[in-house]
Structure 1
Amino acid sequence: MGRLVVVSNRVGPLKDTGRAGGLAVALVDALTQTGGLWFGWSGEISEEGSFGQLKTQKTRKVQMVQMDLTQADYDEFYAGYANRTLWPILHYRLDLAVFDRRFEQGYRHVNDRFATRLRPLLQDDDVVWVHDYHFLTFAANLRAMEVNNPLAFFLHIPFPAPEILAALPNAGSIVRAMLAYDLVGFQTRRDADNFRRFVIEELDATDLGDGRISTGGREVIVRAYPIGIDAEAFSKFGMTPEARRNMSRLEKLMGGRQQIIGVDRIDYSKGLPERFRAFERLLEDYPENRGRVSLMQVAPPSRAELDAYIDIRRELDEMTGHVNGRFADLDWTPIRFLTKSFPRRALAGIYRASRVGLVTPLRDGMNLVAKEYIAAQRAEDPGVLVLSRFAGAAEGMKEAVIVNPHSAEEVAAGLQSAITMPLEERRDRWQIMFDRLCEEDAIAWSRSIMNDVASMKA
């Protein structure tokens, strides 16, 4: 295999700053193994006249190439179609989706512009690996420019049932463009099955079995590739000075009490209002936890310019005040709601000091917080993961306490089970999950996709 060319909405960083997510770390590892190019948006807005100028950084083995968006393209492609149309649809939220023809046109236009700028940079033996919902039509643009390189795609968020996706105007055209990829990867078997169902039922593709479909004279691999983390490396974060400082501060603050930890962006897919209601139900139904158990929710803002996110932030502030006003005591605050981000080493210490990890999205592609929480635990006294059945991570973490986030009673009962779980059971559950995380890590994830791409070339 020649170079690996990665295309994603945002690029880098190439060095672990302590804030890079698991995806960035996995991609850097894959790029540095083969040498390659990482191409995407710079995060900057420029005037129309200077649009298209490439910004390049290079290390010994990896070249980073970025380009700006215009304000109109940002409004239509990123804030518009990607985040007001595709994001809610792919998360099963038809009620929040905005259908605007200008948004779709802007989305297709930016995909074409990015393909046009990438085309001259490609070499004949490059493998192109495209990431996420920002670039669904990107491969079709490259094929129209006579690019015959292997093209792989990975969707990091859910792919909905055909009955949901069919509500998207021109859904058939969007998905048909995705079939210009040689490989289309998903987080879970359910997501891959949903995609196969759509192309078979709506686009007359043929299921060849073994995760392959045939359409228009081409074969496309459609499979699940659950993304992992570097569990062993993350577990070591829990022993760094930064992690120890956070553990010490929390243990002093808690004074022997137990903490439930949630870490999520403020987003309607994460189920944060439902989570706060479930914690309130825990205090109602199991009053022995009053004064003894707190919920810390770390929730960095996300897409703050969108109305749906402003509404959630306001609702969470009000719910925090309601629960604390109802249950707080002089020396105990039930909910601590922090709208800020922490470096990954600091988070490792926070996870390590928390008896329960609460990961309850209403719908999530994978959710790496669940995996990081397990990786951060102490083997001799691990915490318990309470996990939504609608998180992709639930497919491979059956030893967690699996709950329905729409039921406050069920989540409260799950929390009570986690809080009271005997040490031996906690150790058994944790060990199985940690061993699996070490085996199915980020490198294994990227390698499995690249191996399937290579098999198509053979």
Structure 2
Amino acid sequence: MSLVLVANRAPIRPTPDGWAPSLGGLASALLPVLEDRGGAWVAMRGPDEETPLTQTYPPETAAFTVRRVPLEEPEFEAFYQGMANRVLWPLSHYLVEHVEPDRSFRDAYRAVNRRFAHAALDVARTDLAAGREQPTFWVQDYHMMLVPETIRAGLPDARIGFFWHVPWPASEVFRILPSARDLLRGMLASDLVGFHTEGYAENFRESARDLLGAKVEGETITFEGHRCRAESHPIGIDVERFEGLAMAPGAAEMAAEIREDLGGVQIVLGVDRLDYTKGLLLRMEAFERFLELYPERHGEVSLVQIATPSRTGVPAYDQLKREMDEASGRINGRYAKGAWAPVRYRYQSFDQAELAAYYQAADVAFVTPLRDGMNLVAHEFAAVSAVCAERGGRPGALVLSELTGAADYLDGAFLVNPYDADGLARTLDTALDLPETERRARLSQMREAVRDLDVHVWAQRFLESLDAEGED
């Protein structure tokens, strides 16, 4: 059966050499599925884009169609920068102080979701008119919460899956939204809703029960005569790709150059988008506390914090950028001595090969978000560091926030509370001194979990569950 995917971002991008897959795990996971099944990917075309509204891909075989929904600047600002980034994103991460519940955001969100749903319905109706089987729909993430409801109204017997890629908050937090019940109704038109952890799935089921009076039995939610299942389907990374980057010619040399450029000190590595959910300021404060508690480490350890620019122009993100600049300057001003700088702050983007070199060079990955749906940096680090250790390099250790989805699966990590500066500092000290045999044992545990959660396996498992739901 063919597949119609609905997502905010398109799966392909223009390059000087022609069209290529977009960077990121979702495109990596789902492009092979679309090429195998056929169908379409419905995505947004932003106001500054000049991409075609409809195109086939790959060009030489035309396995599926990309259908873009064009947005003008005002609706893009209200739907994407407004409702998605300034309402749903902070609320899902329990950062209620950042929520801006503006009515114009809600109106634009509903209108744009309706346009995405109608584009998906057009694809399905074209298939039906040509005598082909009705496709399965798979809607992605918090940008598209109302899409399933419109698809269901247009095709009542449609098979609809939805995947929620961020945390689902407790019902008493989610109900803060004025549109909470409408958004839930939109998602409950799906047959299957997937989450990264059982805790998120349970929060969703409780929200349906508490806010809408839905009947909940096990994983099944029944609302207005329709049955929807909420299940955990944890996502991972493209394991083969990251293990390949770790083994690529020159990878070990690139990692050695990073260590040499930093003066041969032990490296504590943070890799994040510049986002207030990632706990960057608290991480900087914890590293400063580490330097206070362990003066004997001065000159021997540096924090390398990579912060990829994100959502520039949004006031909260611009403020965070200023605060990060100030924090790194303050710590270096207080502790730097000679050629040693305790903090190396990199506000820039790196490609995956460059990140793999940093993972290989690091002694400890410091992954401490305040909340995170999964956190694939933890998976990437574990995959690369395990290959490095296997090939004779020094294995790394992972310090991981217990408030991430990844904490449910990566048993070899040191779990920490990202709000506890003293606890973070002490755990970092322990991780830096961890004997190599224990590092290897912990990495072996994590590697097994990372491989089991491979992104391609994730897609297969979800679709198998959705197909089974349709057969009941």
2:437 corresponds to 1:428: no
Q: Which position in structure 2 is the counterpart of 1:142?
A: 151
Q: Summarize deviations over 1:166-187 as a string: whole Å, max 9, x none.
A: 1100211111111011111111
Match of 1:163 among 172, 177, 183: 172
Q: Which position in structure 1 is the counterpart of 2:331?
A: 323
2:222 corresponds to 1:214: yes
Q: Which position in structure 2 is the counterpart of 1:32?
A: 35
- After TM superposition, the score normalised by the length of structure 2 is 0.92
Q: CA deviation at 1:156?
A: 0.7
Residue identity in the other structure for 1:305:
G
Q: How does 1:240-279 map to 2 (within 5 A)?
A: 240-241=248-249, 243-279=251-287
Q: CA deviation at 1:351?
A: 0.3
Q: CA deviation at 1:242?
A: 5.9
Question: What CA distance in whole angstroms lies between the structure 2 residues aligned with 1:35 and 1:396?
Answer: 33
Q: CA deviation at 1:436?
A: 1.9
Q: How does 1:164-243 map to 2 (within 5 A)?
A: 164-209=173-218, 211-241=219-249, 243=251
Q: Which position in structure 2 is the counterpart of 1:3?
A: 2
- After TM superposition, the score normalised by the length of structure 1 is 0.95
Q: Summarize deviations over 1:364-418 as a string: whole Å, max 9, x none.
A: 1011000000001122431001000111100101220000000111111111111
Q: Which position in structure 1 is the counterpart of 2:130?
A: none
Give the match's secondary structure for 2:329. helix
Tell me if the contact between 1:111 and 1:135 (Cα under 8 Å) persists in the aligned partners.
yes
More divergent stretch after superposition (26-35 vs 83-92) = 26-35
Question: What CA distance in whole angstroms lies between the structure 1 residues aligned with 2:191 and 2:73?
Answer: 33
2:418 corresponds to 1:405: yes
Tell me if the contact between 2:46 and 2:76 (Cα under 8 Å) persists in the aligned partners.
no
More divergent stretch after superposition (267-276 vs 199-208) = 199-208
Q: CA deviation at 1:35?
A: 2.4
Give the match's secondary structure for 2:120. helix
Instruction: Structure 2 unaligned segments of length 5 or more: list them.
Output: 128-132
Q: Summarize deviations over 1:114-168 as a string: whole Å, max 9, x none.
A: 2122221113431111111000001111122235321100011111001111110
Q: Which position in structure 1 is the counterpart of 2:311?
A: 303
Question: What CA distance in whole angstroms lies between the structure 2 residues aligned with 1:379 and 1:35?
Answer: 40
- CA 1:383 to 1:247, structure 2 compared with 1: closer, same or farther past 3 Å? same
Q: How does 1:105-116 map to 2 (within 5 A)?
A: 105-116=107-118
- CA 1:288 to 1:18, structure 2 compared with 1: closer, same or farther past 3 Å? farther
More divergent stretch after superposition (362-371 vs 375-384) = 375-384
Question: What CA distance in whole angstroms lies between the structure 1 residues aligned with 2:232 and 2:152?
Answer: 24
Tell me if the contact between 2:12 and 2:22 (Cα under 8 Å) persists in the aligned partners.
no
Tell me if the contact between 1:19 and 1:342 (Cα under 8 Å) persists in the aligned partners.
no
Instruction: Structure 1 unaligned segments of length 5 or more: list them.
Output: none
Q: Which position in structure 1 is the counterpart of 2:121?
A: 119
Q: Summarize deviations over 1:73-99 as a string: whole Å, max 9, x none.
A: 112111111111111111111111001
Tell me if the contact between 1:8 and 1:132 (Cα under 8 Å) persists in the aligned partners.
yes
Q: CA deviation at 1:16?
A: 10
Give the match's secondary structure for 1:358. strand
Match of 1:44 among 37, 47, 58: 47
The percentage of counterpart residues that share the same residue type is: 39
Q: CA deviation at 1:239?
A: 2.4
More divergent stretch after superposition (213-222 vs 248-257) = 248-257
Q: Summarize deviations over 1:337-358 as a string: whole Å, max 9, x none.
A: 1111111111111100100111
Hey, which bits of structure 1, 4+ residues long, moved more than 6 A? Answer: 14-19
Q: Summarize deviations over 1:302-353 as a string: whole Å, max 9, x none.
A: 1111100011000000000000011111111111111111111111111001
2:37 corresponds to 1:69: no
Tell me if the contact between 1:19 and 1:343 (Cα under 8 Å) persists in the aligned partners.
no
Residue identity in the other structure for 2:194:
G
- CA 1:13 to 1:248, structure 2 compared with 1: closer, same or farther past 3 Å? farther
Give the match's secondary structure for 2:11. coil
Tell me if the contact between 2:6 and 2:120 (Cα under 8 Å) persists in the aligned partners.
no
Q: Which position in structure 1 is the counterpart of 2:104?
A: 102
Give the match's secondary structure for 1:323. helix
Question: What CA distance in whole angstroms lies between the structure 2 residues aligned with 1:80 and 1:450?
Answer: 31
More divergent stretch after superposition (385-394 vs 124-133) = 124-133
Give the match's secondary structure for 1:333. coil
Q: CA deviation at 1:113?
A: 1.2
2:163 corresponds to 1:154: yes
2:458 corresponds to 1:445: yes
Match of 2:397 among 362, 376, 384: 384
Tell me if the contact between 1:267 and 1:302 (Cα under 8 Å) persists in the aligned partners.
yes
Q: CA deviation at 1:19?
A: 7.4
Tell me if the contact between 1:53 and 1:68 (Cα under 8 Å) persists in the aligned partners.
no
Tell me if the contact between 1:19 and 1:344 (Cα under 8 Å) persists in the aligned partners.
no
Match of 1:85 among 84, 87, 92: 87
Tell me if the contact between 1:7 and 1:130 (Cα under 8 Å) persists in the aligned partners.
yes
Q: Which position in structure 2 is the counterpart of 1:57?
A: 56
More divergent stretch after superposition (350-359 vs 24-33) = 24-33
More divergent stretch after superposition (3-12 vs 237-246) = 237-246
